[in-house]
Amino acid sequence: MFYREAGDFSTSYPEDSQTFPIRFDRYRYYLVLFVAIFVIPFTINDYWVNSIFLPFLIYAIAAIGLNILVGYCGQVSLGTGGFMAVGAYACYKLMTAFPEVSMLIHVLIAGLITAGVGVLFGLPSLRIKGFYLAVATLAAQFFLVWLFNRVPWFYNYSASGQISAPERTVFGIEVTGPNTEAWATYLFCLAFVIFSAVIARNLTRGAFGRKWMAIRDMDIAAEIIGVNPLRAKLSAFAVSSFFIGISGALFFAVYLGAVEVGEAFGITKSFTVLFMIIIGGLGSIFGSFAGAAFLVVLPVVLKLVGVDWLGWPTDIVAHLQLVIVGALIVIFLIAEPHGLAQLWRVAKEKLRLWPFPH
């Protein structure tokens, strides 16, 4: 009944190869976009934005970035936190050096700088694979955090080593600093999410994505059929780091406002984003969103239910949260190793035949 292609005729190649070829799916996508852009900004307050939407949107960008590297190109990376820190510190230096420039440009340039750093740390991937590459990127994680802690130039010689975001604007509307409106920060991040998701989706189903997947599935075979591993791997690192840099810049400038590198961009951040794409689904843009939503929203929901609704002590709820999230990760990996994205795919297949499965 749903997702029927019956009566849905494509009359040209672009029409046939679009992202959502089924009409129902396409309309659903337009509806989600419409609600996200035209409904949510008018209905949210500070709490919803700062506790749920901003972290969800920002982690979604990071997850898309990491998914390109790990899910599509098969290069395991544990350096996400470090690359986010590069984005954050690049954004901070740009914000303080060029106060009159729009935040849009700062965030994009921060992404580009991170892409450069990502390529640099991606070089070892040409020689090493799998777990060994994971360890090499782990080195990037620790090195970058150490660097931002150690060199005072990065934090403008402030006494505490913290960086804090001054007020900056986009088209005259404040998006960073304390006096922002909830809708402004939300729309600002949403714009980057849509931008990232559309680019990532189109890259992954084009020539680049096919090269990445060829490398992921078997690099020697890919090389034999003419995929240049140097370019494929480094482009994956560059694109991935670009998105992660954007998310790091937004994480610092829009969401937290003040950041301490060891605490905000430590190894736990790398693992969080990695869990997101594993739970959401490797090699799926939708999976990046689903994983980010899962890990951002679930703790908040558990807290609301445990503390505010049931009135349990906060420490018990905090411990329970760890137990439940951990258990769910294990259950998910056993029951559906391909993540939430695969569940969604299966659901779509079922719905397509429903209610006449034969």
Partner 1 sequence: MKMKLGTMAVAAVMAASPVMADLVFPSLSYRTGPYAAGGIPFADGYADYFNLLNARDGGIGGVMTSVPECETGYNTEKGVECYESTKGEGALVYQPLSTGITYQLIPKATADGIPIHSMGYGRTSAANGDVFSNVFNYPANYWNGASGAINYLMSQGDIAGKKIALVYHNSAYGKEPIRTLEELSKKHGFELTLLPVDHPGQEQKSQWLQIRREKPDNVIMYGWGVMNQVAVQEAANIRYPMEDFIGIWWSGSENDVLPAGDAANGYKALTFHGVGSDFPVFADIQKYVVDAGNAAGAGDQIGTVLYNRGLYAAMLAAEAAKTAQEIHGTADITAAMMRDGMEALEITEAKMAALGLPGFGPEFNVSCANHGGPGLVGMTQWDASAKTWSLINEFAPSDMDVIQPLIDEDSAAYAAENNIASSCK
- Which residues here bind partner 1, judged by CB under 8 A? 46-47, 50-51, 55, 96, 149, 158-162, 164, 166-167, 177-179, 255-260, 262-264, 266, 300, 303, 307-311, 313-315, 317-319
Q: How far is the CB of 2 from partner 1 (least distance, A)?
A: 32
Q: How far is the CB of 252 from partner 1 (least distance, A)?
A: 11
Looking at the Cβ atoms of 41 and 257, the one nearer to partner 1 is 257
Looking at the Cβ atoms of 21 and 166, the one nearer to partner 1 is 166
Q: How far is the CB of 166 from partner 1 (least distance, A)?
A: 6
Cβ atoms of 2 and 344 within 8 Å: the answer is: no
DSSP state of 257: S
Q: How far is the CB of 195 from partner 1 (least distance, A)?
A: 24
Distance (Å, whole) CA 291 – CA 283: 12
Looking at the Cβ atoms of 180 and 288, the one nearer to partner 1 is 180
Token digits of residue 123? 């070089």
DSSP state of 176: S
Q: How far is the CB of 83 from partner 1 (least distance, A)?
A: 18
As to burial, measured by CB atoms within 10 angstroms (0-12 exposed, 13-18 middle, 19+ buried), residue 324 is middle
Distance (Å, whole) CA 123 – CA 2: 46
Q: How far is the CB of 162 from partner 1 (least distance, A)?
A: 4
How many residues are listed for the chain in this entry?
358
Amino acid occupying residue 103: M
Cβ atoms of 354 and 4 within 8 Å: the answer is: no
Looking at the Cβ atoms of 7 and 178, the one nearer to partner 1 is 178
* String of DSSP letters for 186-251: HHHHHHHHHHHHHHHHHHHTSHHHHHHHHHHH-HHHHHHTT--HHHHHHHHHHHHHHHHHHHHHHI
Q: How many contiguous H segments (helices) and E segments (strands) does the chain have?
A: 17, 4
Looking at the Cβ atoms of 86 and 256, the one nearer to partner 1 is 256
Q: How far is the CB of 99 from partner 1 (least distance, A)?
A: 10
- Number of Cβ within 10 Å of residue 351's Cβ equals 14
Looking at the Cβ atoms of 203 and 320, the one nearer to partner 1 is 320
Looking at the Cβ atoms of 11 and 160, the one nearer to partner 1 is 160
Distance (Å, whole) CA 243 – CA 64: 7
